[in-house]
Amino acid sequence: MRETPVPVVLAGAHGHGRSHLRNVGALAEEGLVRLVGVCDRVPLSADELAGHPQVRQDTDLARLLRHTGGAVTILCTPIHTHLPLARTALDQGSHLLLEKPPTATAEEFHALRAAVDASGLACQIGFQSLGSEAVGAVRSLIADGAIGELRGIGGAGTWVRTSRYYERAEWAGRRSLGGTDVVDGALTNPFAHAVATALAVAGVQRGTAGEIELELFHAHPIESDDTSCVRLHTPAGVPISIAVTLVAATSRPPRLVIHGDAGRITLFYTLDEVRLERPGRTPESTVHPRTDLLRNLVGHLRGEAPLLVPPEDTAGFTAVLDAVRRAPDPLPIPAAMQRVTEDDEGVHRVVEGVDDLVALSAERTALFSEVAAPWARSAAGTGERRAFAAEGGGG
C-alpha cells in the first residue's frame, strides 16, 4: 500500500456523500488519494466530477471495484445497505471507510466484524469526532484529577430539522423498510456522534454495564424518534446520559458535560473545543486538532498509524443502537405541545420548552421524565418503554 496516490471508490455520492467527495478532492490535491470510481443510482455530472479525471461510474459496486482496482471504498449509503455492501467491498479486496452507524442491528455488527477479520483488511468507522484530539484531552484532564472524581457525563443536542429532512430519502425517519431494520432515529444517526463520543470519553466504547434506559418520542409524523434520551452506566457505575432533539427552537453546537466533584468539562465535539470550569478559577478553553479519518486510514495501510475508529471501538454505540431497535415504537408528542409553522424549507415543528429540558437532562444526567418534561409523563411509569438489557454490542 505504498502506492501514491491510493485509488478510492465512493459508494453513495449524494447527500452526505458530497462531503466525502469534497474530502477526497482535497486529499487528491495533496497526492494522497485519487478518485477512480463512483457507485450511485444517480450518476454524478461532469461538473460534479470536475478535478477528478478518469472516474468510472457504475451502479454495481463489485463490478466497479474489479474494473477500477479501488484499494479503499468509502461507503456512504443507507444504513440498511451497509453490511451487504461492506461484504462486497471486502470480497473484492478493498479496505473500508464505513459511515456511521456501522450497521442497523447488533447481529449485523457481529457479521461485519467477522467479515473484516476474515478478510484481513482494514475497516474504519466514520465517527469523525473520534478523530479529534479533544477526546484525548478530556480523558487526560479526568485522569489527572482536574475535576476531581468523575460523577457523570451528560450530553445535549438541539438541532432544527424540518419535514424536508424526512422527505430526502425513503428510509429517512424509518425504523424499518420493507421488513428490513433501518433504525434512523435521532440517537442513532444525526446524534450518533454524541453517544459514541461520550462512550469514548468514559473509556467504555467497547461496551458498558447493566441496563440501557431509553425514552423515545417524535413530533414529526415519522416512525422513529426525533426527540429522545438514553442513560447507561460504566462498569464503575458512572452514569452517561444523552438527550437530543431535532425539533428545537434553535440549533446549537451539541455538547458533552463531564461532571466531577471539583469541577466540570464541556466538550463541544463538533468544534473540537474543550472548556474546563472549576470553582474560584477562570474557565479555560482550548481547541484541538482533528485527524481526517480517510487520511488516517491511508496512513494505517502504509504502516504509519493505528486506526482511529476500528469496528470494535463502536461496540458500545451498537449496543445503544440495538436497544433503540428493540424498544417499543416512540411515543407521539401531543400536537398541543408543539408550535408548527411552514415555509419554503418545509414544516417546522418546535416542542415547547424542549431546548431547556435537553440542557437540564445533561446537567442532571437524567431522563426526560425525570426533569418533568410534560410530554414524557406517560413514559415515566412505563418500565417496558425504558429499560433494555445492554446486549448486542459485544466487546
For 243-269, the pLDDT digits (tens) are: 999 999 999 999 999 999 999 999 999
Q: CA 121, CA 124: separation in Å to the nearest integer?
A: 10
User: How far lies 342's CA from each of 167, 186, 332, 350, in Å?
Assistant: 15, 22, 20, 11
For 69-78, the pLDDT digits (tens) are: 999 999 999 9
User: How far lies 264's CA from each of 240, 267, 288, 363, in Å?
Assistant: 14, 10, 18, 10
Q: CA 38, CA 186: separation in Å to the nearest integer?
A: 28
Q: 299 and 305 in contact (C-beta within 8 Å)?
A: yes
pLDDT at 210: 81
Residue 394 has pLDDT above 70, yes or no: no
* DSSP summary character for residue 44: P
Q: CA 58, CA 270: separation in Å to the nearest integer?
A: 34
For 157-207, the pLDDT digits (tens) are: 999 999 999 999 999 999 999 999 999 999 999 999 999 999 999 999 998
pLDDT at 172: 96
- Amino acid found at 248: A
Residue 3 has pLDDT above 80, yes or no: no
- pTM, full prediction: 0.95
Burial 363-376, CB ≥16 within 10 A → b, else e? bbbbbbbbbebebb
Residue 392 has pLDDT above 90, yes or no: no
Q: Give me the torsion for CA of 231, 165, 252, 131, rounded to 10°.
A: 70
Cβ atoms within 10 Å of 52's Cβ, excluding its own: 19
Q: CA 194, CA 289: separation in Å to the nearest integer?
A: 18
Q: Tell which wins on pLDDT, 51 or 135.
A: 135
Residue 101, preceding peptide bond in cis (omega within 30° of 0): yes
Q: CA 73, CA 145: separation in Å to the nearest integer?
A: 42
Residue 334, preceding peptide bond in cis (omega within 30° of 0): no
Domains, in order of start, for the chain: 6-129 (3.40.50.720), 130-289+311-389 (3.30.360.10)
Please name which of 379, 381, 392 lies closest in space to residue 227, comparing C-alpha atoms.
379
Q: Quote the cell numbers at residue 180.
A: 428490513
pLDDT at 1: 58
Residue 278 has pLDDT above 90, yes or no: yes
For 33-47, the pLDDT digits (tens) are: 999 999 999 999 999
